[in-house]
Amino acid sequence: MSKQAELIDTVRALTKTALRPLVEEIDRKGLYPEAFMRELGGIGGFACVGTEAEGGNGLGLSAQIDVIRAVGGECGATAFSVWCQSACAWYLHQSENEAVRARYLADVLQGKVLAGTAMSNTVKHLADIEKHLLQAEKVAGGYVVSGSLPWVSNIGEDHVWAATAQIGDGYVMFITGGRAEGVSLQACPEFCALEGTRTFGVRFDKVFVADEDVLAAPEAFAGYIGRIKAGFILLQMGIGGGIIDGCLGVIRLADVSGREINRYLDDGFDVLQTALNQAWEETGPLADAAWHNRPELLPTLKLRLAASELCLAAAQSASLHAGAKGYLMRSPAQRRNREAMFVAIVTPAEKCSASRISSLAARKAGSTKRKK
Where do the domains of the chain lie?
A: 3-114, 116-219, 220-366
Q: Could you read off the pLDDT of 46-65 as tens digits, one per residue?
A: 999 999 999 999 999 999 99
pLDDT of amino acid 203? 98
Q: Name the CATH topology of 116-219.
A: Butyryl-CoA Dehydrogenase, subunit A; domain 2 (2.40.110)
How many angstroms separate the CA atoms of 70 and 68, rounded?
A: 5
Domain spanning 220-366, CATH architecture: Up-down Bundle (1.20)
pLDDT score for 371 = 62
* For residue 296, pLDDT beyond 90: yes
pTM of the model: 0.95
Residue 339 carries which side chain, given as an amino acid letter? Answer: E
369 pLDDT tier (thresholds 50, 70, 90): low
Segment 296-312 shows an average pLDDT of 97
Q: What pLDDT is attached to residue 329?
A: 86
The domain 3-114 is placed in CATH, from the list 1.10.540.10, 3.40.1230.10, 3.90.220.20, 1.25.40.10, at 1.10.540.10
Angle at 170 between CA 158 and CA 150, to 5 degrees: 40
* Cα 23 from Cα 78, distance rounded (Å): 9
Q: What is the pLDDT of residue 365?
A: 77
- The helices-and-strands tally (H runs, E runs) of the chain is 13, 8
Q: What is the mean pLDDT of residues 276-299?
A: 97
